[in-house]
A = this chain, B = another copy of it.
Amino acid sequence: MAAGSSTASTSAPASAAATSSTLGVAVVGLGGAVATTAVAGVELLRLGAATTDGLPFSGVDVPGLHAYTDLVFGGWDLSADDLGKAADVHAVLEPAQLRAVQSTLAEQTPWPAVGSVEFCRNVSGANVIAPARAEGESELRAQARHLVADLERFRSSGGPGGTPLGGLVVVNLASTERTPDLAAPALQTAEAFEAGLDADDPEISPAMLYAYAAVRSGCGYVNFTPSLAGDVPAIVQLAEQAGVPLAGKDGKTGQTMMKTVLAPAFRSRALRVEGWYSTNILGNRDGQALEDPASLQSKLGTKKSVLDSILGYPVEDHLVRIDYYRPRGDEKEAWDNIDLVGFLGRRMQIKVDFLCRDSVLAAPLVIELARLTALAQHRGQGGVVEELGYFFKSPVTRQRGAVPEHALHVQERVLLEWLEPRATAA
């Protein structure tokens, strides 16, 4: 990591002899469209074959912030396809781009992963870990141990030529899980969670297991999915104890991003939102996972929470639909209808049709989040990093149950002030 930040070695727990500037990114769901796009994107940046379009913080230069080309990726996936094959299937890259990076991507194969049909019914695969269990060891404990070992191996040799990494962040990009019972005792404290692992508690999901492994390994953890993980009280407590940063949850890319841009404007102009109907059609693996009603419920939960707090009143007719529609592949379409009431009670409507590409919007945010979470760790900031709310549909708050800020422009200001405290204070 950058010289000039003499505090790095002390503030970053467990990590960072700072002898290397390489930032490892261990991805849950490495073979998915978002992850392969991020991996390919960094590779194309390295080759000078991509611009910084879509990367919000390309112009930011603060001590301790990794360059894009510092990033190296690893991670787990239920599919053992190498990333070259995966990128070909996802068809996000242009043919010329794919050709430029395919051989490099083809060298990379996801590590065996932890899956659970209990939590995510529609996504499965054969690339599953099967850890040898010590006498009396529970299955969850063995899995957790295995994931920690994956991270340690990556940390010690994931850099170029097998060198150690200079930093390590775990990012969850896996398909959405169903919501577990939030009140389950095992999820409430660090101690109870440890006991839950040993007792194979059924409320502990794969997503939590990855988050646990990240925290236990001293890695910052980013939850880009709606799954419950980094926001489980037990995990938060563990992260605070370990001084490890947590960021989440559910990346704010297309429709919800637009919502948090438009709603503040309607509030500003006192245009009352009488109803907001949102529908999404998408045909990639994420869409398929959401065919499972339980996974869908988790997703809709984070998508629906943003309006009321921005507007200051409840929008009773706020409907959100997500439909798996294969012709679209990764090219998602989000159609919104907004019913507004203006002066003298007269009604108006706005329709927004966003023909977007899920992975193209998400991948650069993942890259930035890896950099910024590593920065938080470099600065010694443990627990929930609320200032990263800019990236998420459902920002986790430091104070449990607090209403997060959703307006994009406010989140941006908060983030910029966090990024460059001196610059904005001046």
Shortest distance between the CB of A341 and any CB in chain B (Å) = 5
Q: Which of B40, B41, B54, B262 touches A271 (beta carbons < 8 Å)?
A: B54
- In A45-95, the 8 Å CB interface with B consists of 50-56, 58, 92-95
Interface residue stretch chosen among A7-15, A229-237, A315-323: A315-323
Shortest distance between the CB of A297 and any CB in chain B (Å) = 16
A337 at interface (Cβ–Cβ under 8 A)?
yes
Q: Which of B53, B268, B325 touches A319 (beta carbons < 8 Å)?
A: B325
Q: SS class of chain A's interface: helix, strand, loop or mixed?
A: mixed
Asked, given contacts A53-B342, A53-B343, A341-B53, whether A326 binds B275 with beta carbons under 8 Å apart, the answer is yes
- In A390-417, the 8 Å CB interface with B consists of 408-409, 412
Shortest distance between the CB of A46 and any CB in chain B (Å) = 13
Asked, given contacts A262-B261, A270-B54, A281-B337, whether A342 binds B323 with beta carbons under 8 Å apart, the answer is no
Write out the residue numbers on chain B whose beta carbons fall within 8 Å of the beta carbon of A348. Answer: 354-357, 360-361
Q: Are B321 and A271 in contact (CB under 8 A)?
A: no
Instruction: Give this chain's copy count.
Output: 4
Q: Are A270 and B52 in contact (CB under 8 A)?
A: yes
Q: Which of B41, B54, B279, B363 touches A321 (beta carbons < 8 Å)?
A: B279
Cα separation A352 to B335 with both chains bound (whole Å): 10
Q: Are A343 and B355 in contact (CB under 8 A)?
A: no
Write out the residue numbers on chain B whose beta carbons fall within 8 Å of the beta carbon of A346. Answer: 92, 94, 357, 360
Q: Which of B264, B337, B342 touches A357 (beta carbons < 8 Å)?
A: B342
A423 at interface (Cβ–Cβ under 8 A)?
no
A5 at interface (Cβ–Cβ under 8 A)?
no
A353 at interface (Cβ–Cβ under 8 A)?
yes
Q: A258-B265, A409-B409 are in contact. List 6 more A-B contacts (CB 8 A).
A: A94-B345, A343-B360, A344-B360, A346-B357, A350-B356, A352-B353
